[in-house]
Structure 1
Amino acid sequence: MSEFETLTITCKDGYPLAARFYAANSAAEAKSYPVLVCPATGITTQFYHSFNLWLQAQGYAVLCFDFRGIGKSLYGPLKHSTASIVQWGQYDIPAAIDALVDKTQAEKVILVGHSAGGQLLGIVPNYDKVAKVVAVSGSTGHIKGLKGRTKLLAPVMFDVIFPLSRLTLGYGPTSKIGMGENLPKDVAKQWAQFCSKPGYVINAIGKAVPKTEDHHKQITCPITVLWSSDDEIATEVNVKDLIRLYPNAKTSHKELNPAALGHQAIGHMLMFKRSHQNLWPMIEQEIASIQ
């Protein structure tokens, strides 16, 4: 049997997304809800493959996808992509939720979002199909709350590199600085805009997102953020900045200490790496707490 099934998910606006569906291991205890893994900015499904296989072995059905303009959901030259972060929240995540519900006939899904993948529920129209959010390294990424090297790099990337590259290249050149795949120009632009003030995507409300499509106050599902003390983006202040956006949800956050867990570093990206698979049961514990 193949490890996963390759799918094409069609969004409300007609955009096709490349996705992988990992059917639950029938030998494991059946779980009530399947898991939707939503990637970080510029990160593809392959990055989460080992983690998805592990969840599959625990008895979960798992769906993971590439956001529009990223990986196999990019069609044609990157400079021609019109993808945006707002579209990820309003079209891509909703389509993935519906696809997973259709595949499993479940009532709801657990959303495991990495970074940006766990920061957009407030503009997802079918948020009521999400039973819980486990936001790994989730925060608003507010530039004033960053620390370390990232605090120095971010202003240069947002205020200099992205505006110049938009004019010269037609996209955000993030791959050369080790921040995932190159980004569609409007993804790069919104990333800079959203992180320039507290609240991340809340800064799009009344602009790119109509006020009637702001669902933050309507969301009541539990939201838990797992973050590491050495994360330069999802710092404590930025994590708290994210969860304050959901006043009617039961929110919590848990800080991981790399040394206490046997690692030199965890940071923003390593929690899904095979080298850090001893952390995966901690993520699964949060997933299972809603079962």
Structure 2
Amino acid sequence: MTETDCPVDVPCPDGRLLAGRLLLPDAEPAVAIVLHGATGVPRDYYARFARWVADTKQAAVLIYDYRDSGHSARGPVRAARATMGDWGVVDQNAALDFICHEFPDLPVEVIGHSLGGMFLPFHSQAGRVREMIAVGSGPAYWRRHPRGFLPQVLAFWFLAGPLLTRIMGYMPGRLLGMGTDLPANVYWQWRRWCTSRRFYRVDWGKTLPNPDPARVTCKVRLIGVLDDPMIPPPVVRDLAAFYPHADVRHQVIAPADAGVRAIGHLRVFSERCRAAWPLVIGTAV
């Protein structure tokens, strides 16, 4: 760690602490940014991108792990009780609160990847946000994936995924080739959303509070990745319905923009796609 890469604890209202990293520019920051990660993606995957954003925008950038995952895990994943709602509503809200508290006089921005771009209307400090950038985020109903991706979708939601989660007590993502292992409650709630045409609306007023879309009046950029089979660009566009009061703009990044053959759902934040990073944060000429 250096003085521009500081470990921080992000407190949640229920007493949980999220393990974060605050990346700072060499000069006084001009903007404060929180980066909410995707499901099962550890915070450190975003570290090089966050470091670049800190230097490029003279920004203080917070990255962190959701509860019961990564550096925020307290024990084995089988014992974890976190839900996807905990991650999107409670943990993301706590991270935004943290950055607003630490930098009360700075403009605030949010970068959300997948899960990270869907919950701003639930967050109490949404009115502080001047811009949200949501990358690969959208209501991913299972029938809306590209046809060639459907065998994996069927296996994940209806065959091996639920069977192995019941047997093992957690979703074995590594075994299924779907990334990291996930708490069982995260998987079951995620499955309920992705197998419902209403997506997470199915839980509003139940396991999720009711959101307040009027909180979000800022500029919202919805960025799809052309070859993303998990959240393809048409599904990204659908997320605009959840931000009816925002200034929503749409954008698509293609592999050629990054100088690579493929990006998919995750790689736009990787070093190999560095050429596309100015497109993500809106500094491309």
TM-score computed with the length of structure 2 as normaliser:
0.92
CA distance change for structure 1 residues 199 and 225 in 2, over 3 Å: closer, same or farther? farther
1:248 aligns with 245
Distance across 2 between alignment mates of 1:124 and 1:257: 31
Match of 2:267 among 254, 267, 270: 270
| 1:95-134 deviation digits (Å, cap 9, x = unpaired) | 1112112222345521100111111223223322322210
Q: Contact conserved, 1:162 with 1:189, CA < 8 A, in 2?
A: no
Distance across 2 between alignment mates of 1:233 and 1:217: 28
SS of equivalent to 2:161: helix
CA distance change for structure 1 residues 105 and 122 in 2, over 3 Å: closer, same or farther? closer
SS of equivalent to 2:242: coil
Distance across 1 between alignment mates of 2:177 and 2:3: 31
Q: Contact conserved, 1:97 with 1:129, CA < 8 A, in 2?
A: no
1:37 aligns with 35
Amino acid at match of 1:214: P
Q: Contact conserved, 1:8 with 1:19, CA < 8 A, in 2?
A: yes
Tell me, yes or no, if structure 1 residue 214 matches structure 2 residue 215: no
Distance across 2 between alignment mates of 1:258 and 1:216: 33
1:5 aligns with 6
Amino acid at match of 1:21: L
Distance across 1 between alignment mates of 2:176 and 2:102: 38
Q: Contact conserved, 1:229 with 1:255, CA < 8 A, in 2?
A: yes
CA distance change for structure 1 residues 66 and 92 in 2, over 3 Å: closer, same or farther? same
Amino acid at match of 1:90: V
Within a 5 Å distance, the mapping from 1:47-86 to structure 2 comes to: 47-58=45-56, 59-86=58-85
Amino acid at match of 1:18: A
Q: How far 1:149 sits from its partner (Å)? A: 4.2
| 1:178-224 deviation digits (Å, cap 9, x = unpaired) | 332111111111111111123532221132124xx322344222211
The RMSD of aligned alpha carbons is 2.0
SS of equivalent to 2:112: strand
Distance across 2 between alignment mates of 1:179 and 1:133: 27
Amino acid at match of 2:253: L
Distance across 1 between alignment mates of 2:257 and 2:101: 41
| 1:20-64 deviation digits (Å, cap 9, x = unpaired) | 00122218xx52x21111110001111001101111212111000
Residue identity over aligned pairs, in percent, reads: 27
Within a 5 Å distance, the mapping from 1:64-143 to structure 2 comes to: 64-106=63-105, 108-143=107-142
SS of equivalent to 1:244: helix
CA distance change for structure 1 residues 108 and 66 in 2, over 3 Å: closer, same or farther? same
Unaligned runs of 5+ in 2: none
Amino acid at match of 1:46: D
1:238 aligns with 235
Distance across 1 between alignment mates of 2:194 and 2:224: 18
SS of equivalent to 1:110: strand
1:19 aligns with 20
Distance across 1 between alignment mates of 2:140 and 2:15: 30
Unaligned runs of 5+ in 1: none
Distance across 2 between alignment mates of 1:129 and 1:204: 26
CA distance change for structure 1 residues 149 and 83 in 2, over 3 Å: closer, same or farther? farther
Q: How far 1:262 sits from its partner (Å)? A: 2.2
SS of equivalent to 2:63: strand
Q: Contact conserved, 2:173 with 2:179, CA < 8 A, in 1?
A: yes
1:162 aligns with 161
Distance across 2 between alignment mates of 1:187 and 1:219: 26
Amino acid at match of 2:224: W
Distance across 2 between alignment mates of 1:217 and 1:165: 40
The count of corresponding residues between Structure 1 and Structure 2 is 282
TM-score computed with the length of structure 1 as normaliser:
0.90
Amino acid at match of 2:149: T
